[in-house]
């Protein structure tokens, strides 16, 4: 197939009430336009031309570096027909042109391929339609007594009888480029908006005896456009529902697929389980047998076989070794690397930290810019003081070290293998292997001390 694609992405999206161009609003963690382009690329087109208008510079910037995209500007917003016409001069006349909408993010590549195939089979105009449960505001497909498509009528121009039609136009059509150029040139602007509607090409084709073939999408959801925040939220849920179904088919256990979000790419091994309200962002890889508890955020992370992430935990830019346990209420920040069988417990935060196999920090600790050896224990309330107000410094803790409760480790600092740090100590200098470091203020007990409340009563 010699296919050239035109994507209409010039709409301002006033109903979104946003400074962000409509096609850049996100579904599943990426712009709506990106979903449309992904579906289009499956067809391996010879060119993809994206028509932009208001906010076009922001759209170009978002897709900078995608060299297969050709940008076309619609300087005046005179309708979808006018927008399509801006891209057509550069389209090869021997190509089949496929016109897509940048704000219909759930379109499937199979539907696009069928549309192109129908156009090439008939040498005419092919369009994608759907039966809408509520067609309000959408263009209606008008057929004659034999069921042949005669026109697409926008709702504001439709008669009461036409408004009762539930088959709607998706905005997706394919035609030989030479034919489409001729049809677009014949479109007028005699309508309620005074615009050149792309949909009027159907009426022109029918009058000229050009074959018009309408094929229905798999569902209305697939072609639903997004024009406001409510429709954006609805499209998000449909997208997530589809991804959840696909993941479960591939073997992922979801305790409630309605409460599950992937905003990026998720890969997983056998026998993984995900509890409710878990959000995956960016690139996430789960090994075999991984368990994710409820209300967790996993972003740009790798979790090896047998890992367990307990409830209300954030894993961001971390690598978690096999059979490690994290949480509940833990936060692993970028640069965290946990070895096998590590335990990171509740209210523990790590950042740029390498934790050796079998080490433990079970509660209420901060390990930033730290290297912790295998088998070491970090007590409750222990922290690494890694920032001096100007630069970050590293704390290095050897194997099998024991860091007592409420220890303050002032970096740069090295603590040797098998060393101990007493509870409540502030450590500022090197601790040798096997040594005990105690850095506490001397305790004083004041006999006969009178608390302030008692003093006040004695007055």
φ and ψ of 240, to 5 deg? -65, -35
Looking at the fold, whether 169 and 213 belong to one and the same domain comes out as yes
The pLDDT value given to residue 404? 97
* Rounded-to-integer distance, Cα 27 and Cα 34, Å: 9
Q: Is the peptide bond before 27 cis (omega within 30 degrees of 0)?
A: no
Please list the active-site residues: 363
User: Residue 155 maps to which CATH number?
Assistant: 3.90.550.10
| Rounded average pLDDT over 179-193 | 82
User: Residue 429 maps to which CATH number?
Assistant: 2.160.10.10
The parent domain of residue 273 ranges over 242-437
Cβ contact 238:251 at 8 Å: no
As for how many domains the chain has, the answer is 2
Looking at the fold, whether 282 and 210 belong to one and the same domain comes out as no
Q: Specify if 103 maps to a domain.
A: yes
For the cut 90, the answer to whether the pLDDT of residue 157 exceeds it is no
Which segments of 332-406 does DSSP mark as H helices, in order? none
Count of Cβ atoms closer than 10 Å to residue 144 Cβ: 10
Looking at the fold, whether 132 and 177 belong to one and the same domain comes out as yes
The pLDDT value given to residue 187? 84
The pLDDT value given to residue 137? 86
pLDDT tens, position by position, 342-354: 999 999 999 999 9
* Rounded-to-integer distance, Cα 128 and Cα 201, Å: 14
pLDDT tens, position by position, 68-79: 999 999 988 888
Looking at the fold, whether 142 and 246 belong to one and the same domain comes out as no
Tokens of 90: 């550069």
Of 223, 253, 269, the residue at which a domain comes to its end is: 223
Task: Please choose, from the candidates 410, 415, 449, 459, the residue with its C-alpha nearest in 3D space to the C-alpha of residue 434.
Answer: 415
Looking at the fold, whether 122 and 270 belong to one and the same domain comes out as no
Looking at the fold, whether 48 and 174 belong to one and the same domain comes out as yes
pLDDT tens, position by position, 15-70: 999 999 999 999 999 999 999 999 999 999 999 999 999 789 999 999 999 999 99
* Rounded-to-integer distance, Cα 201 and Cα 98, Å: 14
Cβ contact 260:274 at 8 Å: yes
Looking at the fold, whether 371 and 289 belong to one and the same domain comes out as yes
| Rounded average pLDDT over 129-143 | 91
Q: Specify if 62 maps to a domain.
A: yes
Count of Cβ atoms closer than 10 Å to residue 160 Cβ: 6
Cβ contact 423:404 at 8 Å: yes
For the cut 80, the answer to whether the pLDDT of residue 189 exceeds it is no
Enumerate residues 6+ apart whose C-beta is below 8 A from 61: none
Q: Which residue in the block uniquely carries the two structure tokens 């009888």?
A: 161
Q: Specify if 450 maps to a domain.
A: no
Looking at the fold, whether 259 and 209 belong to one and the same domain comes out as no
Of 223, 251, 284, the residue at which a domain comes to its end is: 223
- DSSP-derived letter for residue 14 is G
Q: Specify if 130 maps to a domain.
A: yes
Q: Specify if 431 maps to a domain.
A: yes
Looking at the fold, whether 266 and 175 belong to one and the same domain comes out as no
Of 223, 251, 283, the residue at which a domain comes to its end is: 223
Q: Specify if 192 maps to a domain.
A: yes
Cα 288-294-297 angle, rounded to 5 deg: 80
Q: Buried b vs exposed e over 241-266: b needs ≥16 C-beta within 10 Å?
A: eebbeebeeeebebeebebbbbbbeb
Looking at the fold, whether 183 and 258 belong to one and the same domain comes out as no
Q: Is the peptide bond before 89 cis (omega within 30 degrees of 0)?
A: no
Cβ contact 153:161 at 8 Å: no
The pLDDT value given to residue 217? 94
Residue 174: exposure state from Cβ atoms within 10 A (0-12, 13-18, ≥19)? buried
Task: Please choose, from the candidates 91, 116, 93, the residue with its C-alpha nearest in 3D space to the C-alpha of residue 39.
Answer: 116
pLDDT tens, position by position, 304-342: 999 999 999 999 999 999 999 999 999 999 999 999 999
Q: Which residue in the block uniquely carries the two structure tokens 């500007």?
A: 73
Looking at the fold, whether 214 and 248 belong to one and the same domain comes out as no
In 132-232, DSSP assigns E strands to 140-143, 149-153, 167-176, 212-216
Tell me the whole-structure pTM to 2 decimals. Answer: 0.89
Q: Specify if 124 maps to a domain.
A: yes
Percent of the chain clearing pLDDT 90 (strictly above): 82
326: helix, coil or strand?
A: strand
Q: Specify if 229 maps to a domain.
A: no
Looking at the fold, whether 176 and 253 belong to one and the same domain comes out as no
Output Rg (C-alpha) for the chain, integer angstroms: 31
């Amino acid at each position: 197939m010699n296919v050239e694609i035109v994507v209409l992405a010039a709409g301002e999206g006033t109903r979104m009430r946003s400074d962000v161009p409509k096609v850049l609003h996100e579904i599943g963690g990426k712009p709506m336009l990106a979903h449309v382009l992904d579906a289009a690329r499956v067809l391996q087109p010879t060119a993809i031309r994206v028509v932009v208008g208001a906010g076009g510079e922001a759209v170009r910037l978002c897709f900078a570096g995608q060299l297969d995209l050709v940008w076309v500007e619609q300087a005046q917003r005179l309708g979808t027909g006018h927008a399509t016409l801006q891209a057509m001069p550069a389209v090869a006349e021997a190509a089949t042109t496929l016109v897509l909408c940048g704000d219909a993010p759930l379109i499937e590549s199979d539907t696009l391929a069928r549309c192109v195939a129908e156009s090439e089979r008939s040498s005419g105009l092919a369009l994608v339609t759907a039966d809408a449960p509520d067609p309000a505001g959408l263009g209606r497909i008008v057929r004659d007594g034999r069921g042949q498509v005669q026109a697409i009528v926008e709702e504001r121009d439709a008669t009461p009888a036409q408004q009762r039609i539930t088959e709607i136009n998706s905005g997706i059509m394919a035609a030989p480029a030479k034919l489409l150029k001729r049809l677009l040139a014949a479109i007028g602007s005699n309508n309620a908006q005074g615009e050149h509607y792309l949909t009027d090409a159907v009426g022109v084709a029918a009058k000229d005896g050009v074959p018009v073939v309408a094929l229905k999408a798999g569902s209305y959801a697939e072609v639903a456009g997004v024009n406001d925040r409510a429709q954006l939220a609805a499209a998000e849920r449909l997208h997530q529902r589809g991804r959840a179904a696909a993941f479960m088919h591939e073997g992922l256990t979801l305790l409630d697929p309605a409460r599950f979000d992937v905003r990026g790419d998720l890969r997983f091994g056998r026998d993984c389980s995900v509890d409710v309200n878990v959000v995956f962002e960016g690139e996430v890889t789960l090994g075999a047998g991984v368990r994710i508890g409820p209300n967790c955020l996993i972003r740009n992370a790798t979790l090896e076989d047998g890992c367990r992430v307990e409830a209300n935990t954030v894993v961001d830019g971390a690598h978690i070794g096999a059979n490690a346990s994290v949480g509940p209420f833990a936060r692993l920040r970028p640069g965290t690397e946990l070895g096998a069988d590590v335990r990171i417990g509740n209210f523990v935060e790590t950042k740029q930290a390498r934790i050796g196999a079998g080490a433990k920090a079970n509660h209420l600790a901060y390990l930033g810019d730290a290297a912790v050896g295998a088998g070491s224990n970090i007590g409750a309330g222990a922290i690494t003081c890694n920032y001096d107000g100007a630069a970050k410094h590293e704390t290095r803790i050897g194997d099998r070290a024991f860091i007592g409760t409420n220890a303050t480790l002032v970096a740069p600092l090295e603590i040797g293998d098998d060393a101990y740090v007493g509870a409540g100590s502030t450590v500022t200098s090197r601790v040798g292997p096997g040594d005990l470091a105690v850095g506490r203020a001397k305790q004083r007990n004041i006999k006969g001390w009178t608390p302030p409340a008692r003093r006040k009563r004695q007055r």
